[in-house]
Amino acid sequence: MAGKVLSRFTVFDLVIIALMACLGIAVKPFVVPLAHIITGPLFIPGGAVAGGFYMLWIVLGAGMVGKPGTATLIALVQAVAIIAVGFFGTHGAVSLITYLVPGLAVDFVLLLSRHRGCCAGCCFIGGIAANISGTLLVNLVFFRLPLIPLLLSGSAAALSGGLGGLLAFQLLRKLRQFNLLEVPGTLEGES
């Protein structure tokens, strides 16, 4: 089954998936402490604000590869890498789920919209979906925030995720402008 799913991806696609997963992991330790400066006094988790800056790699990878399931694979590689290197952080083995859900959310948005990271709208919504799903899942599993801080955390996650998605789109646009990527269409009419 895994071989059949992976056979849709070229070696170059798989390299991009691995690279985006690693960049998402590498950026997180630098961005989260900076976000805690802002979120600490507001009593909301730093990942809600920082998430947009490391979720952008999932959206960027999905746009670069342009194939369904790409975001989920990026998130899965991140989860496996985090567990394999023993860098559990505060999530422990639950990292498999907390890392996977944002990738599933991006793929779900792209599937529903029949887009592939081709426009600012799908990247924006994909970034929001990734960061909100990750933030709400972590809040549900670990923090169990009361309603008002949860709404504040979700709002910060939506804003940060949307901005991360827009940043991913701008990077995709520049890569396409320099003919480093093909301009993907939507999924309409494809089987």
Q: Domains plus CATH for the chain?
A: 2-177 (1.10.1760)
**Amino acid 126: pLDDT:** 96
- Can you read off the two tokens belonging to residue 1? 């089954």
Cα distance between residue 177 and residue 111, in whole Å: 25
Cα distance between residue 54 and residue 152, in whole Å: 20
From the list 107, 123, 108, the residue with the least C-alpha distance to 170 is 123
**Amino acid 190: pLDDT:** 45
**Amino acid 191: pLDDT:** 37
15-41 burial, b if ≥16 CB within 10 A, otherwise e? ebbbbbbebbbeebeebbeebeeebee
Residue 27 pLDDT level (bands cut at 50, 70, 90): confident
In this structure, of 1-10, 61-70, 117-126, the range with the lowest mean pLDDT score is 1-10
**Amino acid 89: pLDDT:** 59
**Amino acid 106: pLDDT:** 96
Cα distance between residue 76 and residue 85, in whole Å: 14
Mean pLDDT of 107-127: 93
**Amino acid 184: pLDDT:** 59
Mean pLDDT of 115-143: 90
